């Protein structure tokens, strides 16, 4: 949910560096703040446990003893996460509470407002694994200090509200800031898992809100074009990116009644050709194969060399052929999802110019 969708993939052959999640950084900051609260020796580095049993050192950027506060700068490695470089802050204080360690959200951390996510509405968007990591990290400080009192930890992110505007959080009903995320503590650069998690979270929210139709789009321009024409509820819209087959399978699992597919020409042709993943890493569009595919469909384009799919589009003067391509793409989506699919072709000017039905 904190993915920066505008960032591209790094060049081929470059060894990508892993980083740490916001949840791991929050845990490190929380332990440092707890150590300051309990006046434990502190040398600017804290070691915290990870879900896989490892222990990892984190450098602490800033500390204050009154109130007890510490912060960690997030290093996401080579992942294009919008939170890379963000300052994750923790305050710790003694409280009278039923919980040995209670966790709150502060400035820059979003609040969940819709059902369907891992955290219920009304709670700060600090996911279950980060909560567990924070609890374990602070518990280590309590044990070391021999402290029996209860501690409250408040997690904040500097400028988190501004950063969240560049994410999909508001779409998911996470308002006012970022999500504190992570299932392993490690950020795998440019991971498919992160994008897929955003797709499934969006569908879960739509289902929990009782929505029966969703619109999956290959990109933001295609999504905006569909919004302009159909104006479905905001939670109906899911950015699938290149994960075509995955998105249709997930929609099928959730039992939606209809899927709208919105894409521009090159992606729509790929989908019409039954391509499960439309990213170039899975294979760039074979223009000659696409040309032959269109000719076999009956599209009247010259059988010559084309440099791009867009060049082929310029040869098509009749809307019927665009509708036929949409129908092929919709048929592929239906074959995977077993749900009625309406495919909408979006022009490079950002308007829907053809539909499958």
Domains and CATH numbers, the chain: 19-187 (3.30.2110.10), 192-355 (no CATH)
What is the pLDDT, as a whole number, of residue 112?
96
Distance CA(156)–CA(153), nearest Å, equals 10
What is the pLDDT, as a whole number, of residue 76?
83
What is the pLDDT, as a whole number, of residue 168?
84
What is the pLDDT, as a whole number, of residue 113?
95
What is the pLDDT, as a whole number, of residue 357?
79
Cβ distance 216 to 247 under 8 Å?
Answer: yes
Q: Is 195 helix (H, G, I), strand (E, B) or coil?
A: helix
DSSP 247-275: HHHHHHHHT-SEEEEEEEHHHHHHHHTT-
Helices (H) and strands (E) counted in the chain, each on its own, are 10, 16
Cβ distance 170 to 1 under 8 Å?
Answer: no
What is the pLDDT, as a whole number, of residue 129?
94
Distance CA(135)–CA(143), nearest Å, equals 12
Q: Are strands 150-157 and 213-217 parallel, antiparallel or unpaired?
A: unpaired
Distance CA(22)–CA(179), nearest Å, equals 8
What is the pLDDT, as a whole number, of residue 69?
97
User: Digits of tens for pLDDT over the chain (357 positions)?
Assistant: 454 434 333 334 445 678 899 999 999 999 999 999 999 998 899 999 999 899 999 999 999 988 999 999 999 876 667 899 999 999 999 999 999 999 999 999 999 999 999 999 999 999 999 999 999 999 999 999 999 999 999 999 999 999 999 888 998 899 999 999 888 888 776 567 778 988 999 999 999 999 999 999 998 899 999 999 999 999 999 999 899 999 999 999 999 999 999 999 999 999 999 999 886 555 557 889 999 999 999 999 999 998 888 899 999 988 899 999 999 999 999 999 999 999 999 998 899 999 997
End-to-end CA distance of the chain: 33
Would the pTM of this model clear 0.85, i.e. be above it? no
What is the pLDDT, as a whole number, of residue 278?
81
What is the pLDDT, as a whole number, of residue 9?
38
What is the pLDDT, as a whole number, of residue 190?
58
What is the pLDDT, as a whole number, of residue 193?
79
What is the pLDDT, as a whole number, of residue 189?
63
What is the pLDDT, as a whole number, of residue 280?
55
């Amino acid at each position: 949910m904190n993915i920066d969708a505008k960032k591209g993939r790094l060049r081929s052959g470059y060894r990508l560096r892993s980083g740490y999640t916001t949840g791991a950084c929050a845990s490190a900051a929380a332990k440092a703040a707890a150590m300051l609260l309990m006046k434990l020796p502190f040398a600017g580095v804290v070691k915290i446990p990870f879900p896989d049993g490892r222990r990892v050192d984190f450098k602490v950027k800033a500390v204050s003893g009154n109130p007890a506060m510490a912060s960690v700068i997030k290093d996401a490695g080579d992942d294009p996460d919008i939170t890379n470089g963000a300052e994750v802050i923790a305050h710790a204080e003694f409280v009278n509470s039923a919980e040995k360690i209670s966790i709150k959200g502060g400035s820059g951390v979003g609040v969940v407002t819709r059902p369907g996510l891992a955290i219920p509405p009304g709670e700060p968007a600090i996911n279950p694994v980060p909560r567990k990591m924070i609890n374990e990290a602070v518990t280590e400080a309590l044990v070391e200090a021999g402290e029996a009192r209860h501690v409250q930890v408040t997690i904040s992110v500097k400028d988190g509200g501004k950063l969240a505007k560049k994410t999909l959080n508001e779409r998911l009903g996470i308002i006012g800031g970022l999500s504190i995320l992570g299932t392993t503590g490690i950020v795998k650069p440019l991971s498919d898992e992160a994008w897929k998690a955003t797709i499934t979270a969006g569908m879960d929210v739509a289902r929990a809100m009782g929505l029966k139709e969703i619109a999956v789009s290959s990109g933001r321009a295609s999504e905006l074009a569909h919004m302009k024409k159909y104006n479905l509820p905001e939670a109906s819209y899911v950015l699938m990116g290149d994960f075509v087959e995955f998105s249709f399978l997930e929609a099928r699992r959730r039992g939606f009644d209809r899927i709208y597919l919105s894409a521009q020409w090159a992606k729509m042709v790929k989908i019409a050709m039954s391509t499960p993943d439309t990213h170039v890493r899975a294979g760039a569009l074979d223009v000659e194969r696409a040309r032959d595919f269109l000719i076999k469909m009956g599209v009247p384009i010259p059988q010559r060399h084309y440099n791009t799919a867009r060049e082929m589009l310029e040869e098509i003067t009749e809307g019927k052929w665009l509708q036929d391509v949409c129908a092929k793409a919709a048929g592929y989506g239906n074959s995977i999802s077993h749900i009625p699919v309406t495919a909408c072709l979006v022009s490079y000017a950002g308007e829907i110019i053809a539909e499958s039905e």
